[in-house]
Structure 1
Amino acid sequence: MSVLPCVACGASARQAEVDLISAVGARQSLLLNSNVPPEASDLASVQTTITETDAQLANLDAQIARRPASLRDLEERRTMLWNYRTRTHAILSPLRRVPPELLGHIFLCTLPGAVEALKRGRIDMADSPWLLTQISSHWRAVALSIPSLWSNISIDYMESFHNASTYSLPLVETQIQRSRELRIHFYGCEEMDATPQTAMLQLLSHHSLRWRDLSLGITSAMAPFLPSLRDRLPALKTLWIHWNIPQSHPAVTPLDCFQTASSLVNVGIHNSELYVPILFPAHALTRYELNAPWDFHLGILNNAPSLVEARIIIYSDQEPWPVLAQPILLPHLRRLYLSHPEFADSLVLPALEELAGEVPNLDMAALLRALVERSSCTLRRLASIRTVSAQAIIELLRRFPSITELAISMDSMNHYQAVHSLIAALTSLSGDPSLAPGLNQILFGCQYGTDIDYEVYLDMLKSRWNAENCDLKLAALLIDSGKAPDQATLDGLAALRRDGLYLSVLTGSAAGDEMNLWSYATDW
């Protein structure tokens, strides 16, 4: 047999192998070069081809074993046949028969999260959904038929600035054309040239009627553009605003462009330096978080009867406190973070189940206790954020035995002794059976370089885990930047985990992100 070049790859091949590959009919050739699923009538011929290829492979393996001098030629021929067999066998792959609806669901699961996408600082064509259009014509057709696959637009010019990358207007425009609803994360950068940022924002605003979720980091260059959005946000349901403008910037008038966004149900606003009132409708809200003066919060609470969750941060001290004729009734509110317990007497919350805030002393604990008692609700979760008084927490645990989850975070070593005293009080149920007998989740977090006595913490978990009258199921230890537990503590925690305790130990930014959730904060 003469040696001929393979028409596919240029490798050496014997006439027999070439004949085998060339003998494929038009139908099988179509199947080899596409993702078209085979019909029942195709299966016999495909299987025959695989069998004949296996025979040729076996023959070549025998020749390679007998004729080492011709090893290179034989190996090239074998590689050619093996590649051909692999492609032929792929015709029978079950993946070709996956219904487009199921394939689309799988595609949606491949989308990067918003935080991950923002860190790119650019649109990455190697990410989903762009990559899905480059695999095959079938996958491309499926990807282009699913508008929700293209809905998430994540742009962070701060990351782009640091990574020396950029965002492509044509690519974003293409993505918009392929989508229906739009979920937008757009964060500006004060240090970067404003021209490309405003151009991108203008492109997005042309499609504001389709905005469903909007997370916006506002810069001074963007602020004058925002009023044009008024009356153009009918579908907007979720709004997150991060106001990045420094205090040195000239005074900014209240922003009212979102006041006509009648579909809003979830609003979060963070003013890091310069307080600017941002107006929005409250009648349909089920959740909001905001740092603002108390009277601004009152305006929201008085007009938001459907609230389920609220994170209320008082922007600045305000004395004297406003006196209400009667407390505000919020019949559906289940989760509340209140930065200043002094305002607890302004609320009646009959559905309240989870309460978070700063509990620095017994007086603050008394205000929170009065809120729960006045509301006749069943409190199941208590979170003390940043400031910790062991005496105050113990008083609340004793007063409300219905509490099943306790979360404690501290951000100053001034609270070290208080946390130590609280851990000691929780160490054994035998001395005080009335202290949180139903507590099944205990979460401790250390922020900004703080830490706790890990040996005492481990002893507390062991004591409660082994107590007959305790129902501990879950524990968490989160340290964002402080001293990590020693090996003995880690070994003890691992032993509890093996024994059945669900235990989470996190460090670094992941720990900080998780602690934010304890106070119902979000980072859209």
Structure 2
Amino acid sequence: MTSPFASKLRTNYCPSDEEVAEIKALLVEPCLRLKGLDDKITALQKALDKLTQERDSLEAYVQAHTALISPSRRLPLDIIQEIFVACLPTHRNCVMDAREAPVLLGRLCSSWRAVSLSTPRLWASLHVVDVGRLAPVHDSSSRRLEERAALIPEVTRTWLGRSGQCPLSVSLYTFPFPSDPVAPTILETLIQVAPRWQHIQFTIPAAFLDTQFQLAAKDVPILKSIALHQYDPFQVPNLAWDRLEVLRGSNVTGVAISGCDLVLPRLPLRWTELTALSTLGSRDSPVSGERHISSQEAMELISKCPQLRTLSVLFEEHGLFAETEAHPIVHPLLQTFHCRGNVSTFTFLPGCLSLPELKEFTFLVHLPGSDAYMDDENGRPLVRFLAASSHLESLHIGISQFSSSFLQEILRSFPPTLQRLRINAMSKIMWGARLGSSLDDAILSVITPGLGDAAPCPCPALKELQIDRCTAISDSALLQFISARAATLKRIQVDFAREVELDIRPSLQPFIETGLDICITHVRPTRKVSAWEGLPHAERPLLD
């Protein structure tokens, strides 16, 4: 529509009195037409609403009848049960939570609940957490927590009752420093079904183990793996390890035990039958004890376990006690070796072991108070050990006490079979001075195709890289590494202990779209001081 005031529309023009009267007269006819259109739209909307209501009613009728002939309703019971079992977690035991199977399956409809309750395999694994009474009950959330804790023993009995005669996988975790724990009651319930134990893991105070865990080998006829992580936050009990006859079970091949007073030779184990052994504490328990052993003790241990496939131990050496190179011990079956120790451990132990089938290796230098570090000279046994591991696929290393030249040398020693690499990259700071090296751009270039001086580039089969607590690698160098490795790389995770320097997310998007799993995190920047500080009711704009 044309208007004599077209040039004045959408401006700050203020019309005169005569122009106001002219504008009012000009709007009479458009306003009448607008009302007429609104009336037509209202009538059409009523007709549309009526049709929509009729359509929804008809759709509900069709859907209700279609549901009756749904293929899922005609599935045989055994197929439904197999689907339900496939919903269970495969890497851990089931938990008492309605957000996941098996509890979730019984909350969708009555028929599914009946199926879940009549399928014992769904209830054959269970993880129980004993929170005790963490704090005085003085609010609603604390009361709910205490009420829930009080129900755990009964829920445990009900859960296990649904498992029929299935072999059980059970884990019990007692929260550190609980008051009024229910673990003793839960243990009583679990011990009643000990003949059906297949895999168990208990992280509990030592006193509970000593007084309530008195089982004989005949009481656990099908037990395959057992993990006992005992702790006492106030004292180190004298636990009679030699009385744990349950460790003698005829089928026990996997054992994980930790405790401050643990004495390995006293364990009543069937050493020649073990396939997995760990003396490291539970990662979920900050107060669990871990037993240190020397490299010589480890070699003796490996020698008397010919069937061992997995070994996880904590070493502690007191100086380089072996001046001459010992004859290496060959273990033809060990595939997974996780170890933590001081520098002396890794300057001696690798030269004494030959593991031709090693596939997964972890070596982390602990004891951060030591100022020793590994260099090209004392690290030669470790370099030779890695180079000789022709089947190695997964490696986890800590570099806090590596010299820069040794770190580059050890990267070049990785076998070409390596597919997964994890590096703890934070260097150690002591008295304001940096010890060892940090993983920086120059070192990353060693495993970046086209940049390192080694030909061919190390780790040609690398699929996964994880770097923890990274400080010295630049964002641009990381982007260059990902670009060079994109053809074979499947996953990369980098945890930066610094703020973002360069936003490389737009450059990474093409790699993500082709299937590369990328997880890169930075520490959040510190909050800037605002001019509105101290004014709680004032709105604070975001300041750059």
Separation (CA, whole Å) in 1 of partners of 2:55 and 2:447: 70
How far the C-alpha of 1:246 sits from its partner, in A, is 2.9
Correspondence for 2:249: 261
Counterpart residue number, 1:156: 129
Kept after mapping to 2: 8 A contact 1:333/1:349: yes
User: Which residues in structure 2 correspond to 1:362-377 (within 5 Å)?
Assistant: 362-363=376-377, 365-371=379-385, 377=390
Alignment of 1:141-290 (within 5 A): 141-158=114-131, 161=134, 163-164=145-146, 165-166=148-149, 167-179=151-163, 180-194=166-180, 196-231=182-217, 232-246=219-233, 248-254=235-241, 256-257=243-244, 258-271=246-259, 274-277=260-263, 279=267, 280-290=269-279
Kindly provide the CA deviation profile for residues 131-151 of structure 1, in whole angstroms up to 9, marking residues without a partner as x.
434555543443234222001
What pairs up with 1:100-499 in 2 under 5 angstroms? 100-111=77-88, 123-124=96-97, 127-133=100-106, 135-136=108-109, 138-158=111-131, 161=134, 163-164=145-146, 165-166=148-149, 167-179=151-163, 180-194=166-180, 196-231=182-217, 232-246=219-233, 248-254=235-241, 256-257=243-244, 258-271=246-259, 274-277=260-263, 279=267, 280-291=269-280, 292-294=292-294, 296-314=297-315, 317=318, 320=321, 326-339=327-340, 340-341=345-346, 342-358=348-364, 360-363=374-377, 365-371=379-385, 377-387=390-400, 388-399=402-413, 402-405=416-419, 406-412=421-427, 414=434, 417-427=438-448, 428-429=450-451, 431-436=453-458, 438-441=460-463, 443-447=465-469, 450=471, 452-465=473-486, 472-479=488-495, 482-483=497-498, 485-486=500-501, 488-498=503-513
State the SS of the aligned residue for 1:128. coil
Q: Does the 8 A contact of 2:411 with 2:447 survive in 1?
A: no
User: 1:235, 1:263 within 8 Å by CA — same for their partners in 2?
Assistant: yes
Aligned equivalents of 2:383 and 2:250: distance in 1? 36
- State the structure with more CA Rg: 2
Label 1:172 to 1:84 Cα distance change in 2 as closer, same or farther (>3 A).
farther
Question: Which letter maps to 2:328?
Answer: P
CA gap 1:356/1:376 in 2 versus in 1, 3 angstroms: closer
Sort the Cα spacing of 1:389 and 1:126 in 2 relative to 1 into closer, same or farther, 3 A.
same
Q: Indicate conservation of the 8 Å contact 1:403/1:436, yes or no.
A: no
- State whether residues 386 and 414 of structure 2, in contact with CA within 8 Å, keep that contact through their aligned partners in structure 1: no
Other structure's SS at 1:362 match: coil
* Residue pair 1:416, 1:452 contacting (<8 A) in 2 also: no
CA shift for structure 1 position 305: 1.6
Number of equivalent positions: 426
Alpha-carbon contact 1:157-1:187 (below 8 Å) kept = yes
Deviation at 1:264, TM superposition (A): 2.5
Deviation, 1:217, is 0.6
**Hey, what's the Cα distance between the residues in 1 that align with 2:98 and 2:412?**
57
Distance 1:492 1:267, change over 3 A: farther
Q: Alpha-carbon deviation of 1:211? A: 1.0
CA contact (8 A) 1:365 1:395 kept: no
Q: Structure 1 regions of 5+ residues with no counterpart? A: 1-63, 466-470, 509-524
| CA–CA distance in structure 2, aligned partners of residues 460 and 88 of structure 1 | 58
8 Å Cα contact 1:198-1:222 kept in structure 2: yes
Q: For CA contacts below 8 A with separation 6 or more, give which structure has more relative contact order.
A: 1
CA distance in 2 between partners of 1:322 and 1:243 (Å): 37
Q: Which residue of 2 aligns with 1:89?
A: 66
Partner Cα distance (2:319, 2:202) in 1: 29
Take 1:463 and 1:83, find their aligned partners in 2: how far apart are those partners?
56
Do 1:429 and 1:437's aligned partners in 2 also have CA atoms closer than 8 Å? no
2-structure distance, mates of 1:364, 1:474: 34
Q: Secondary structure at the match of 1:345?
A: helix
Identity rate, percent: 20
1:518 matched residue in structure 2: none
Retained in 1: the 8 A contact 2:200–2:225? yes
For 1:464 and 1:130, the matched residues in 2 are separated by 43
SS state at 2:498 partner: coil
The answer as to whether partners of 1:424 and 1:460 remain within 8 angstroms in 2 is: yes
Contact 1:253 1:276 in 2 (8 A): no
Residues 267 and 437 from structure 1, CA distance in 2 versus in 1: closer, same or farther, beyond 3 angstroms?
Answer: closer
Quickly say closer, same or farther: Cα 1:433–1:197, change in 2 above 3 A: same
- Alpha-carbon separation, structure 2, partners of 1:433 and 1:160: 61
1:390 and 1:421 in contact (8 A); partners too: no
Cα 1:506/1:222, change in 2 over 3 Å? farther
Cα distance in 2 for residues equivalent to 1:277 and 1:357: 23
Q: Deviations over 1:220-240 (max 9, x none)?
A: 441323441232223222223
Q: 1:491 to 1:137 in 2, by over 3 A?
A: closer
Across the aligned residues of Structure 1 and Structure 2, the Cα RMSD in angstroms comes to 3.9
Report the Cα distance in structure 1 between the residues aligned to 2:243 and 2:378, rounded to whole angstroms: 35
Offset of 1:95 from its aligned partner? 1.0
Contact persistence 1:287–1:308 (CA under 8 A): yes
Task: Call closer, same or farther: CA 1:487–1:398 in 2, change over 3 Å.
Answer: closer
